[in-house]
Amino acid sequence: VRSVAQTPDGYLWFATHEGAARFDGIAFTVFNQFNAPALRGSGVATLLVTKDGSLVLGLRDAGLVRYSQGKFEAIRPKGNLPTGTVNL
C-alpha cells in the first residue's frame, strides 16, 4: 500500500502496485486496468481527495485518473506530464 484516502461517501481507498482497492467496511473491491481501463499500467502510486469529493489517482507509469460519480476517467492536462510515477 502506497497511499490511503477516505472519500466523503465513507469509502477507504488504497493505492497499490496492482491498482486501487476500495474498502466499504466489510469487503474490498479492486479496480485495475482490466475492469477500469483508465487505470492503465502497473498500479497506483498516490491518492488525493479533491474539494468536490472526487478522488484523483496518480499512476505509477505516469498519468492521472479521476474517480467521480462511479466512473474512472483519465485527466488530460494541457501540456505533457513528465514520465515516471506521479506523486500528488
Confidence (pLDDT) at 45: 93
What pLDDT does 84 receive?
Answer: 62
- Whose cell is 487505470? That residue is 39
pTM for this entry:
0.87
Q: Average pLDDT for consecutive 10-residue bins of the chain (88 residues)?
A: 97 96 97 93 90 94 91 80 63
What pLDDT, on a 0 to 100 scale, did the predictor assign at position 76? 77
Predicted pLDDT of residue 40: 86
pLDDT of residue 80: 65
Contact partners, residue 65, CB within 8 Å, separation at least 6? 38, 39, 56, 57, 59, 72, 73, 74, 75
